[in-house]
Chains A and B, each alone.
Chain A
Amino acid sequence: MREKIAVGAAAAAAALLAYNLYQMFMVLPDEALQGAIYRILFFHAPAAMVGMIGYFVALTFSILYLTGKNFLYDSLAASVVEVSLVFSVVNIVTGSIWARIIWGIWWTWDYRLTSALVCILIFFGYLVMRKAIDEPTQRARLSSALCIFGCVDVVIVYKSIEWFRNQHPGPVLDFRTGGGHMDPAMQNIFYLNFVAILLMAIALVLIRTRQEATAREIDSLRRLAHIAG
């Protein structure tokens, strides 16, 4: 069942991405000030949004683990964090390429960029820590704590463009500004690409959780062999 949902989500993502790419390159015009490079925004920002949503889903699973001690939630949190991290890296790399043309620099230590980099480092640390701890209970407890800590930074990443004066542009989407900052046709494709990337992330998380279940099965069989031996 899980495989069928993963294949369905991946197929829907592929179809939607194909439609979106057609719209981006064949229908939408270049942006007046930025030219063609503004199209990076269609991947840069949705990747960030999918990453942030993922971290909060992982936060929910981490809290569920800490309250119920069910290892399934720990596995789900780890799977979601891993996939979210991939999209956070997509966000920061595409943003850097956009910045090279628009700002003339690859990177600057402003609040948004720095907090986004810290977020990536925290959740990369989360995955490294999981590999370093063999004892499942200790691993799950520390991972959950680190995930909760990391999500504080996710809030800072999200709000930093409102709280501080940044090199990074301020909010442009209607749901944050009330409207008037972005052309509706461009915004529609932006949201459709967000849905496509979200579907892709769901497919990847489902595949990753299947692998976590297999890893748990291997662990329990090894323990059985150890007890019997």
Chain B
Amino acid sequence: MDARNFTFMFYGFLAAWVIVLLYVIALARRGARLKKELDEVKKMTGPIEQHADRH
């Protein structure tokens, strides 16, 4: 019982950290994707904004 009790406590801690870690990884991946997307859109709209500034 004691060993099983300790093992499940370890599983509980592990589960908590794995869930948070998976979310942090997902957050980092989304951040990288958004940055890439922003750079692409800026490249695309750069000439339009310059044109709008001139007028």
The answer to whether A and B assemble together is yes
Proximity string of chain A (90-126) to chain B, C-beta cutoff 8 Å, 1 when within and 0 when not: 1001100110110000000000000000000000000
CA distance A83 to B41 in the complex (A): 28
Q: Are B48 and A97 in touch, CB under 8 angstroms?
A: no
User: Does A40 contact B23, Cβ atoms closer than 8 Å?
Assistant: no
Q: Is the CB of B24 within 8 A of A101?
A: no
Residues in B11-55 with C-beta less than 8 Å from chain A: 11-13, 15-16, 19-20, 23-24, 27, 30-31, 34-35, 37-38, 41-42, 44-45, 48-49, 51-52
User: Of residues A47, A101, A217, which shows the largest number of chain B Cβ atoms within 10 Å of its Cβ?
Assistant: A101
At the interface, yes or no: A43 with Cβ under 8 Å from chain B?
A: yes
Majority SS at the chain B contact face: helix
Interface positions of B (Cβ within 8 A of A): 1-2, 4-6, 8-9, 11-13, 15-16, 19-20, 23-24, 27, 30-31, 34-35, 37-38, 41-42, 44-45, 48-49, 51-52
- CB within 8 Å for A93 and B38 given contacts A36-B9, A37-B9: no
Q: Decide yes or no whether A211 CB sits under 8 A from chain B.
A: yes
Alpha-carbon separation in the docked complex, A43 to B20 (Å):
12
Q: A36-B2, A86-B19 are in contact. Are A214 and B38 (CB under 8 A)?
A: yes
The contact string, 1 if C-beta is below 8 Å from chain B, for chain A 190-228, is 000000000010001001101100110110011011001
Let me know if B34 and A218 touch, CB within 8 A: yes
Residues of chain A within 8 A of B13, CB atoms compared: 39-40, 43
